[in-house]
Amino acid sequence: MSILNVATPAYRADEQFRLFAESVGRFLDREAQPTTVERWREAGIVPRAFWEKAGASGLLGLSTSEAYGGTGGDFRHEVVLMEEIGRRGIEGWDVTLHNAIVAQYIESYGSEAQKSAWLPKITTGEVITAIAMTEPGTGSDLQGVRTTAVRDGDDYRINGSKTFITNGQNANLIIVVAKTDPSQGAKGISLILVDTEKAPGFERGRNLDKIGRDLADTSELFFNDVRIPIENLLGDQEGRGFIQLMEKLPQERLILAVQGVAAMEYALGVTLDYVKQRKAFGKAVVEFQNTQFKLAELKTQATIAKVFVNYCVGEHLEGRLDSATASMAKYWVSDLHCALVDECLQLHGGYGYMNEYPIAQAYKDARVNRIYGGTNEIMKLLIARTL
């Protein structure tokens, strides 16, 4: 039962989504119990075995068509999965990046051979994916990537380094953003599929030590004269990478907004439970008018966010979500999410600062949402272009 009483989108009345949510919930309650998730946080990675179990339980390849071994669902199924994960506070298992971002690049732009080779394995979890855009020297300014993929006979030779790459330790298929024409800016960028098991010269660097989302294996990657067959270019011509990225980034931003709303619901839920049982001055903390007013404000703000995000999901399902509106959702929800977890932590007093309390973890996990998927400053630039 959600703490936010927002009318569910019409599609959710369809029995298949209720059943799917229940089956995802059962899987997570069985395989990702809090003690298990804590072990993953300590290890800094979600084990491959869990990905494979998720595949066997129908959680992977959600929006991949059945013709390529997927489950034949769409973004609505991804939303259900994100909500079930978010409601349990399991921040950092980046399955939606795998399902709704990388698999979608391959399905939209890949050749028949690429789709047949990779999509079935993405659905079983045999293949875990990543997308490597960011480099030590450039993040927001994607046109400035310095990784090169220079044609050499029937191969590309890839040189460069990437950082902050989600699923970087687990991934065995990585979409690498590289310049096939280093003399150009955006027009020189291409996306190349790197099968890490067939890429001598490819190395994984550190699994980076972050302040939150500890169970995500966010990593450095190095490419040292890595030879990749030219058939691994995504799309039928070089120089299309920037456009491909721009086409897919609105969905990525919407995903972050959906996850943000689910995480806010989780934070409100754990806070409400806490203030009901914690006593001060002889009464439960929830009985103070300040607590009630704060929670009333937060519930109102989170409700407004959910209504807007549901609207954006609806627009996206109709193929109408534009980049500026997706950017509004990403920036506004992530700002609100950070403010909300801060207030929720405050209502926990000193316990909120203790790592063993879920709100402390939620507070740390939230912060990156204002940074990745394009910083909130970049979101405002995109919105400002429409003024």
Ligand X SMILES: Cc1cc2nc3c(=O)[nH]c(=O)nc-3n(C[C@H](O)[C@H](O)[C@H](O)COP(=O)(O)OP(=O)(O)OC[C@H]3O[C@@H](n4cnc5c(N)ncnc54)[C@H](O)[C@@H]3O)c2cc1C
Residues in contact with ligand X by CB under 6 A are 130-134, 139-140, 164-166, 210, 213, 218, 368, 371-372, 374-375, 377-378, 381
Take residue 199 and report the two structure tokens written for it: 């890429």
Q: Nearer Cβ to ligand X, position 175 or 285? A: 175
At position 266, the amino acid (one-letter code) is Y
Please tell me which residue in 83, 220, 252, 265 is annotated as part of the active site.
252
Cα dihedral 107, 62, 70, 53 in deg (nearest 10)? 130
> 197 catalytic, yes or no?
no
Q: Nearer Cβ to ligand X, position 55 or 374? A: 374
With tokens 């709100």, the residue in question is 359
Closest distance of CB 212 from ligand X, Å: 8
Closest distance of CB 156 from ligand X, Å: 19
Q: Nearer Cβ to ligand X, position 158 or 165? A: 165
Closest distance of CB 13 from ligand X, Å: 35
Among 124, 10, 137, 5, residue whose Cα is nearest residue 64: 124
Closest distance of CB 312 from ligand X, Å: 20
Q: Nearer Cβ to ligand X, position 71 or 219? A: 219
Q: What is the CA radius of gyration of the chain?
A: 21
**Closest residue to ligand X: CB criterion:** 139
Evaluate whether 118 touches 171 at the Cβ level (below 8 Å): no
Take residue 128 and report the two structure tokens written for it: 């875990």
In DSSP notation, 39-106 reads HHHHHTS--HHHHHHHHHTT-SSTTS-GGGTS----HHHHHHHHHHHHHTT-TT--HHIIIIIIHHHH
Please list the active-site residues.
252
